Structure 1
Amino acid sequence: MNIHACQSRDHLTRRTLLRGAGVAGISWLTPLSDLLAVDAEKAPSGKPAKSLILLWLGGAASQLDTFDPHPTTKIGGGVKTISTAIKGVEFAAGLEQTASIMQDVSLIRSMVSKEGDHERAFYNIKTGYRPDPTLIHPSIGAIVCHELPEAKIEIPTHVSILPNQWPARGGFFGAQYDAFQVYDPKGSIPDVKARVEDRRMERRLEGLDVVEEAFAAGRVANLDSDKTLHQLSIQRARKMMTSDQLKAFDVSQTAASERAAYGDTAFGRGCLAAVRLIQAGVRCVEVTLNGWDTHANNLEGQATQVKILDAAYASLIRDLKRFGLLENTIVLCGGEFGRTPRINNVGGRDHWPHGFSMLVAGGGFAGGRVIGATDPEGEKKEPERPVLVENLHATVQDLLGIDYSKEVMTPIGRPMALSKGEVVAELKA
């Protein structure tokens, strides 16, 4: 047996050894067979998902005005409700299209975060970790691209559409795993076409080759190709500029009726582009819908955003299903936290990380289920069946066939697990 190969494939963590002990009892002292048994138990059933779409409701959507209304209580805030495809489950009015597809979607009403500040909470929801001054954790999209590399694609495998000030980052995996940022897909992608005619561009590239040769030979002072990824970045950029796969970003190529189904909004176009990018082979796409931070005039502010979200989200799920992509594409939709049961003096709701909502669909997630519940009187902070942010991350990674407990070595020599959470079994199909 090649011991070095085993060590590079799986770093044996304390968690792994404890699991081995729990499965095999006293016989765990024969580690090889028992660890293989543990791996078999951890393996997800069926084929793992291949891709991930993240719809971020930036500013924090109010669970009480979207997916967890309590209309007849003192915390209801005047919201009106509608029935959904899940018997006995209601949504806020304005989410009619989303309500009609809930047989394909599950709802978590008990997400819990320990962060109530926008920046820190966004870091937490995107990485599964709380901010740490000693390192930057990779976002879930970066983890997926790192663990599931795609060799055939010529465009970035990690894309952020309409990013806010906290886009997904590669963290200790490196800047090459940062999300490629684009804005409203109704326009062309900037800086991917040459600004000069072909022959002049060829001469520029010939001149660049001279610099590259000197760079590779170490004759250019104070430049380290291993640290700057200079040549790799140039190669990727040149390949992307001439790739037909760039057309996936261009939603103008779709029928007008298809664009209209998503809504005539930047977010709607972003969701349509997300489907096209997944079709092209992109691993992870995040689309952000900002504007949910309603510290004042909450009812009207949330209703405006709900209208944008409803058409785009429902159309995205329908199209993924129509194209046969939903079964291997995970879709998460939610904000960085929720909003308070109490309505403040200016008709707004403030920050509330103690029980907020998240929609999960596709890629091995069950459809038509509701996990957890919040207090209809708004007195209890702790929801029923709380789901921690890190546990959602572990579940997503598990459904993608990623060993979420795997430890990787950071640049400073610190072992760090991809996730410190545990799988939420009730969410799996």
Structure 2
Amino acid sequence: MLSRRHVLQSMSSGFGYLAFAGIASKSDAADRRESAGPLSVRPTHFAPRAKRVLFLCMSGGPSHVDSFDYKPELQRNDGRAMFYPGARTSHGKLMASRWKFRQRGESGLWVSDLFPKIAEQADRLCLLRGMNTNVPAHPQAFLEMHTGTSQFVRPSVGAWTIYGLGTENENLPGFISLNPPSGNGGGQNYGSSFLPAAYQGTPIKIQRGVAKFPNIANPLIDPPTQRRQLDFVQSLNQSHLTAGGDDREVEGVLESYELAFRMQDTVPEVMSIDDETQATQTRYGLDRDETAGFGRQCLMARRFLEAGVRFVEVSHDGWDQHANLTTDHAMHAEAVDQPIAELLNDLDERGLLDDTLVLFGGEFGRTPVVQGVDGRDHNHKGYTMWMAGGGVKSGFSYGQTDEFGQEAIEGKMHTHDLHATILHLLGLDHERLTYSYAGRDFRLTDIHGRVAEAILA
């Protein structure tokens, strides 16, 4: 007969065994992930609705009450004094939108004349009108939009995506950022932080119509000689890795060198738009100075997505209108409106839109009250982003701000909820996509995040 002491000892040993088994299984899973190659395609947690992401990043904070969030009461109360306790601009007069809102398409979504071409795509859009974030300042909000936090250096959403899914083309980066802003966190917005370096984004600057890609080729050395040099360097790296055990930085170097060598032939071909017809280039607006810059980025983004790049971000800076909003918002909208609309059409015609999640928006919105004569201040409490394709409902509006557009009151989506929803659409459970670092498991959404089930198709 077993004594009570013996039973308790056995039970405590069992608990220890279970804990060890859990740790070991996590370690085995991580080993299997890395042994297959950091960029190899990986199974999802459940059936994905999207295979890739295109983020159209409007840096600076475009005004939701002038574009995608129709507020009739704002129009009727133009000039009325308002007080918003806790807001950056707490006192001010309401300023009606300078653009007329109209119901668009069969869905009847309200979109303003600020974006006439995107308005024609209304039946493809899923408007997220209850967005909100923590801080009404560009650096913090921009970093939070990209990494989930503004307080610590963390991996970007693109890096987490590649970590979770791998990439479909071993000769291209899994994550590309076109024209990323140099401020507001800079490289952190496409960085991998504590994730292996293989998951970080590759920035491509486009200046005066010329793409500036990181120098990966040596024109003075022929490919066979370069291959032999690389093999020698890799052998030294591998010796260091073998002698030192687990060294993720060296593993990142090994993978990045190999990827850079493979990219030398593939990247220039994908980046070149010379084989695109004149009609296609005209559709994207490359024949007009106002649209040529962003149009080139959008066309290049489509080529990267088509070639198997998993996450592509396209940036347009300059939406921070504390003054001259009527003139400057119109200028920036003209630059992106036609290229974005044609990008959606092109993706659909090529059969890519259904499994490509398109996301449009900035780090926050703008206030319904005027700043100065013709400006709006930052508003982080309520603003709009939109999605298209990739398993979300089309011609659909989710969430709502108050009668004037100051604060989200229904269908609220915090940045963490946005990230959780993006990962869910890609077939990834944001609570299970973790990485062990500094003694704890980290995830993109930290301890937060809820999937917006209502927008799923």
- Rounded to whole Å, the distance in 1 between the matches of 2:174 and 2:203 is 11
Superposed displacement of residue 51, structure 1: 0.3
Pick from 120, 124, 136 the counterpart of residue 104 of structure 1. Answer: 124
SS in structure 2 of the partner of residue 172 of structure 1:
coil
Task: Indicate the residue corresponding to 1:240 in structure 2.
Answer: 263
> Identity across aligned pairs (percent)?
29
- Rounded to whole Å, the distance in 2 between the matches of 1:240 and 1:299 is 43
- 8 Å Cα contact 1:114-1:353 kept in structure 2: yes
- Rounded to whole Å, the distance in 1 between the matches of 2:362 and 2:181 is 13
- 8 Å Cα contact 1:162-1:267 kept in structure 2: no
Pick from 134, 156, 177 the counterpart of residue 139 of structure 1. Answer: 156
Superposed displacement of residue 151, structure 1: 5.4
SS in structure 2 of the partner of residue 383 of structure 1:
strand
Task: Indicate the residue corresponding to 2:277 in structure 1.
Answer: 255
- Structure 2 residue 103 is matched with structure 1 residue 76: no
Instruction: Please list every run of 5 or more consecutive structure 2 residues that lacks an aligned counterpart in the other structure.
Output: 1-17, 31-43, 79-94, 287-291
Instruction: Please list every run of 5 or more consecutive structure 1 residues that lacks an aligned counterpart in the other structure.
Output: 12-41
Deviations, residues 132-175 of structure 1 (Å, cap 9, x unaligned): 33xx2222111111110125431101000011123322122133
- Rounded to whole Å, the distance in 1 between the matches of 2:335 and 2:226 is 45
Letter in 2 for 1:423: V
Q: Which has the larger radius of gyration?
A: 2
Superposed displacement of residue 218, structure 1: 4.4
Task: Indicate the residue corresponding to 2:109 in structure 1.
Answer: 89
SS in structure 2 of the partner of residue 196 of structure 1:
coil
Cα RMSD for the two superposed structures: 3.0
Within a 5 Å distance, the mapping from 1:360-399 to structure 2 comes to 360-377=387-404, 381-399=407-425
Pick from 168, 172, 177 the counterpart of residue 199 of structure 2. Answer: 177
- Structure 2 residue 197 is matched with structure 1 residue 196: no
Letter in 1 for 2:384: S
SS in structure 1 of the partner of residue 203 of structure 2:
strand
- 8 Å Cα contact 1:398-1:423 kept in structure 2: yes
- Rounded to whole Å, the distance in 1 between the matches of 2:116 and 2:362 is 20
Superposed displacement of residue 214, structure 1: 4.1
SS in structure 1 of the partner of residue 56 of structure 2:
strand
- 8 Å Cα contact 1:162-1:183 kept in structure 2: yes
Superposed displacement of residue 267, structure 1: 1.5
**Are residues 401 and 216 of structure 1, via their aligned partners in 2, closer, same or farther at CA, if it must alter by over 3 Å?**
closer
**Are residues 10 and 403 of structure 1, via their aligned partners in 2, closer, same or farther at CA, if it must alter by over 3 Å?**
farther
- Rounded to whole Å, the distance in 2 between the matches of 1:377 and 1:118 is 23
**Are residues 97 and 151 of structure 1, via their aligned partners in 2, closer, same or farther at CA, if it must alter by over 3 Å?**
closer
TM-score using structure 1 length: 0.82
Task: Indicate the residue corresponding to 1:401 in structure 2.
Answer: 427
- Structure 2 residue 146 is matched with structure 1 residue 126: yes
- Rounded to whole Å, the distance in 2 between the matches of 1:319 and 1:63 is 26
- Rounded to whole Å, the distance in 2 between the matches of 1:287 and 1:187 is 15
- Structure 2 residue 435 is matched with structure 1 residue 416: no
**Are residues 276 and 9 of structure 1, via their aligned partners in 2, closer, same or farther at CA, if it must alter by over 3 Å?**
farther
- Rounded to whole Å, the distance in 1 between the matches of 2:384 and 2:126 is 11
Superposed displacement of residue 8, structure 1: 5.0
**Are residues 285 and 89 of structure 1, via their aligned partners in 2, closer, same or farther at CA, if it must alter by over 3 Å?**
same
Superposed displacement of residue 423, structure 1: 0.8
**Are residues 237 and 225 of structure 1, via their aligned partners in 2, closer, same or farther at CA, if it must alter by over 3 Å?**
farther
Superposed displacement of residue 84, structure 1: 1.4
Deviations, residues 25-84 of structure 1 (Å, cap 9, x unaligned): xxxxxxxxxxxxxxxxx976x653110000000011011222124362323143223331
**Are residues 49 and 211 of structure 1, via their aligned partners in 2, closer, same or farther at CA, if it must alter by over 3 Å?**
closer
- 8 Å Cα contact 1:320-1:326 kept in structure 2: yes
Task: Indicate the residue corresponding to 1:150 in structure 2.
Answer: 167
Superposed displacement of residue 215, structure 1: 4.5
Task: Indicate the residue corresponding to 1:358 in structure 2.
Answer: 385
**Are residues 10 and 194 of structure 1, via their aligned partners in 2, closer, same or farther at CA, if it must alter by over 3 Å?**
closer
Task: Indicate the residue corresponding to 2:82 in structure 1.
Answer: none
- Structure 2 residue 247 is matched with structure 1 residue 230: no
- 8 Å Cα contact 1:188-1:250 kept in structure 2: no
- Rounded to whole Å, the distance in 1 between the matches of 2:433 and 2:168 is 24
Letter in 2 for 1:119: P
